[in-house]
Structure 1
Amino acid sequence: MRYAYLGPAGTFTEAALLGVEGAREAERVPVSSVPVALAAVRSGEVDAAMVPIENSVEGGVTATLDAVATGGELRIVHEALVPISFVLVAAPGTTLADVRAVSTHSHAWAQVRGWADEHLRGVDYVPASSTAAAALALLPARDGAAGPGREAGFDAAVCSPVVVEQHPELEVLAENIGDNKAAVTRFVLVARPGAPLPRRTGADRTTLVIPLWEDRAGALMEILEQFATRGVNLSRIESRPTGNFLGEYFFSVDVDGHILDARVADALMGLRRVCPSTRFLGSYPRADHKMATVARHHSDGAFREARGWVESLQGGGPSEPGGVAERPVPGTG
């Protein structure tokens, strides 16, 4: 197995990947961005890629939501939750008073802005492809020259403590600087279609891409009612522009349940009727093991009973045991 992940080594994405069974022994390929990782999956260069999809502070990771919504279809086969902790690092000999510009990934910067405003007032922010890439850019080159980060105009970087463990020569200027100490990022392992469907556990998640096929009053309601009438809970829904033209959007949706659950399968059939371009991205076990709450009339058994009753009426025979008892039609005696 070959896995791609947002590199370099030491990123939170690599930490999520290392939690996958067999990943430590497999070949791990660091890449520069989420689109590059997913392109490697589509081309067959790697078997799967670990990418961030949602953060408890910032919400959906737009680079991932957009990249899985277009192009060749992909399947999510696994998810992981990684607690997020940040440190501020710099090249050896640097002090906090020396810092005039800081680099890190945009999602990391959003999670430390409060701390930065208090302790590094007026500091400039320089975007980086990943937290680890920003930190490693500060290290001196082998010939003793300043690292590319210093040349690019930043003096410090926000990264994970794992980077410091791997590169102890980095100067740690501050620890645990996240504004939300309980921050968590959700990562997903993405493979090509045809991979075995993860088994149903009762604590599952299904991810969909639903284009808004018509910009009119009630269009979103028509989508939502496919889930509501079948008792399917939406744990996340976000709108994203398609990029085709202004005002054209798609919805990225997570629902509680597995496609093998009768209520979820029935909702997807209804959704497919009203929006044929709906994209199924996978059903997979939740990393938090949170069981779905399902009312009795939305259970698999209730769907089987209802389907059996309708089929018996279509065939003209008696309803199956447990079906709804027939009642006289008012006015017929």
Structure 2
Amino acid sequence: MSTSQTEAARAVSGTSVGPPNGSPVYTYLGPEGTFTETALLQVPGADAAHRLPSSSVNAALERVRSGEAAAAMVPIENSVEGGVSATLDAISEGAELRIVREVVVPISFVLVARPGVTLGDVRVISTHAHAWAQCRDWMNANIPGVEYVPSSSTAAAALGLLDRDGQVPPAGAATSGANYDAAICSHVVAERHWLNVLADGVEDNTGAVTRFVLVSRPGLLPEPTGSDKTTLVIPLPEDHPGALMEILDQFAARGVNLSRIESRPTGQFLGDYFFSIDAEGHARDARMVDALTGLHRISPSIRFLGSYPRADGRPPSVPPHHRDEAFQAASSWVESVLRGE
């Protein structure tokens, strides 16, 4: 196994799941050409590993849980649309998983069609729901009244325009039966399959990014880097005034900043929610250890989803009295008091 492949294997907690040649198996939200595959290729060694596209986030995570794949790359947050509900829900239930890495990918879209189709011919467009939300204003301004057909991914929508052999059909030729005229996808898919690009840069928000996470089975945590995130799922054990404040106080009292907090329904009954949280810091940081201890007392069903390096490498701003040295000094002082010194 090469050095880069060894680094990749360590990134998934030492898991050695893979084909006979020893390369790890990675799965991702497919098909080929999705932004998720682009994110996966940023993982050291992933370009030389066996990459297995999955039809959905659930399918990708189940491949990890079953041992078919060492890790899965899935989208978790978009700078325009917020959290990706399919991932937040799928990772919060079932056998526990761990996030070991995050990757941020700039998002830009093209509108593609078969040969001979012009912008004026487009009446129905297909793409992923998050992509549609990011291009809706452009579509309304340039193709008024256009209809939208959801797809499992941007790449799947584009590939639906190809014939059964995966080729771009000649103008006017019969296709595999796509019930739409055009698709919104990445530049990579358009170039790879020689699709007819009707418009470039159709996103409404230039500079939008999507955050992806590499998920593996539980194992040793990545070492602290000084620029880390910890992701948690915290059920609300009892709905009463101040219940959420009790949870947030555990972070605030220890100087732990939250970079994301979202509520998601548990699906048990109306009004029953859990909170998906990203906190700045590593589970080995003293302030985080203290916060996790307090959170478990309040919500014993808390789920730890991992501590991993931040993609931007930015360290958190931690006041002196919340740093590890302050916690160690305080612990030593208490011990001296108990010893009667």
TM-score (structure 2 length as normaliser) = 0.90
Which of 216, 219, 242 aligns to 1:218? It is 242
Matched, 1:40 2:63: yes
Structure 1 pair 146–265 and aligned structure 2 pair: CA distance change class (3 A): farther
Inter-partner Cα distance in structure 2 for 1:121 and 1:224: 45
- Kindly provide the CA deviation profile for residues 179-209 of structure 1, in whole angstroms up to 9, marking residues without a partner as x: 0111000000000002x31111111100000
Which of 175, 179, 193 aligns to 1:167? It is 193
Matched, 1:297 2:325: no
CA contact (8 A) 2:160 2:178 kept: no
Name the amino acid aligned to 1:147: T
Corresponding residue for residue 80 of structure 2: 57
CA contact (8 A) 1:85 1:160 kept: yes
Name the amino acid aligned to 1:266: D
Matched, 1:113 2:136: yes
Inter-partner Cα distance in structure 2 for 1:92 and 1:125: 20
Q: Where do 5+ consecutive residues of structure 1 fail to align?
A: 318-333
Corresponding residue for residue 286 of structure 1: 310
Corresponding residue for residue 12 of structure 1: 35
Inter-partner Cα distance in structure 2 for 1:140 and 1:98: 20
Corresponding residue for residue 87 of structure 1: 110
1:239-254 equivalences under 5 Å are 239-254=263-278
Q: Secondary structure at the match of 2:38?
A: helix
Inter-partner Cα distance in structure 2 for 1:147 and 1:262: 60
CA contact (8 A) 2:26 2:69 kept: yes
CA contact (8 A) 2:161 2:178 kept: no
Inter-partner Cα distance in structure 1 for 2:298 and 2:236: 10
Matched, 1:314 2:316: no
Q: Secondary structure at the match of 1:180?
A: coil
- Kindly provide the CA deviation profile for residues 67-118 of structure 1, in whole angstroms up to 9, marking residues without a partner as x: 0100000000000000001000001111111100000000000000010010
Name the amino acid aligned to 1:183: A
Inter-partner Cα distance in structure 2 for 1:36 and 1:128: 16
C-alpha displacement of 1:140: 2.4
C-alpha displacement of 1:152: 4.0
Matched, 1:182 2:210: no
Matched, 1:258 2:282: yes
Percent pairwise identity: 66
Name the amino acid aligned to 2:72: A
CA contact (8 A) 1:138 1:146 kept: no
Q: Secondary structure at the match of 2:317?
A: coil
CA contact (8 A) 2:258 2:279 kept: yes
CA contact (8 A) 2:251 2:291 kept: yes
Identify which range, 134-143 or 116-125, moves more after superposition. 134-143
Name the amino acid aligned to 2:199: A
- Kindly provide the CA deviation profile for residues 232-253 of structure 1, in whole angstroms up to 9, marking residues without a partner as x: 0010000000001111000000
Corresponding residue for residue 227 of structure 1: 251
Inter-partner Cα distance in structure 2 for 1:245 and 1:270: 27
Larger-gyration structure (1/2): 1
Q: Secondary structure at the match of 2:249?
A: helix
C-alpha displacement of 1:316: 1.5
Q: Where do 5+ consecutive residues of structure 2 fail to align?
A: 1-23
